Chains A and B, each alone.
Chain A
Amino acid sequence: GAGVSQSPSNKVTEKGKDVELRCDPISGHTALYWYRQSLGQGLEFLIYFQGNSAPDKSGLPSDRFSAERTGGSVSTLTIQRTQQEDSAVYLCASSLAGGGNTIYFGEGSWLTVV
């Protein structure tokens, strides 16, 4: 597609349930990023993929968070046993490989844990 596509756009889940968030990057972009934005906050880096591997997972807040990427394209961010503090907007971004390339964001998946 023309831009970064994320689904679902909105998700309400009960505390303790698992959720999966999907990202489809811009075609040809080998670099993919997940960020999190809590209400009124800036963006917090979670994880970076180059192709299917994740050289930097340093931003994942706990072992309940994991992500994978298959075929060098679509990525899934999984949150297990969700907690209320996981409520946030989860933003996916992509770019061409290497630093200094423009990074484009999707519209985000708004997660609410009740």
Chain B
Amino acid sequence: GESVGLHLPTLSVQEGDNSIINCAYSNSASDYFIWYKQESGKGPQFIIDIRSNMDKRQGQRVTVLLNKTVKHLSLQIAATQPGDSAVYFCAENFAGGTSYGKLTFGQGTILTVHP
């Protein structure tokens, strides 16, 4: 039957290529941003985070870029592998006066890596 719900953005790449996943966030006051990877049937897995006082942060094969001017976040994955295939979510946090990690999630992007 036909599934009901959001049609997520998709990105298909060849193994070995670099991938760029984009996210527009909503709250200009947000000060902490996280990327999560979610494989089918599993919970979100932390990939990398960045605070609002930075514009770039690198991890192992991943880089997150933050452009606060246009409220844009991107995740770059180098040398993409089939095991990277998953749904990728960005999340933002505005600690504000309460100072706790309530996250607002984006809709997600489906990454498919072809061998």
Interface centre among B36, B42, B44, by most chain A C-beta atoms within 10 angstroms, is: B44
- How extensive is the interface on chain A, given as a class? 20 to 34
Describe B's contact surface by its main secondary structure: loop
Known: A100-B93, A104-B46. A45 touches B104 (CB 8 A): yes
A18 close to B (CB within 8 Å)? no
Q: Write the nearest CB–CB distance from B65 to chain A, whole angstroms.
A: 19
| A98 CB-CB contact with B under 8 Å | yes
Tell me which residues across on chain A come within 8 A of B43, comparing CB atoms: 4, 91, 105-108
A-B residue pair count with CB separations less than 8 angstroms: 84
How many of chain B's residues touch chain A, expressed as a range?
20 to 34
Q: Mark A70-100, 1 if CB is under 8 A from B, else 0.
A: 0000000000000000000001000101111
Is A98 a contact of B46 with CB atoms below 8 Å? no
Asked whether, in the complex, the Cβ of A99 is within 8 Å of the Cβ of B32, the reply is yes
Seen from chain A, the residues whose Cβ lies within 8 Å of a Cβ on chain B are 4, 31, 33, 35, 38-45, 48, 50, 55-56, 91, 95, 97-108
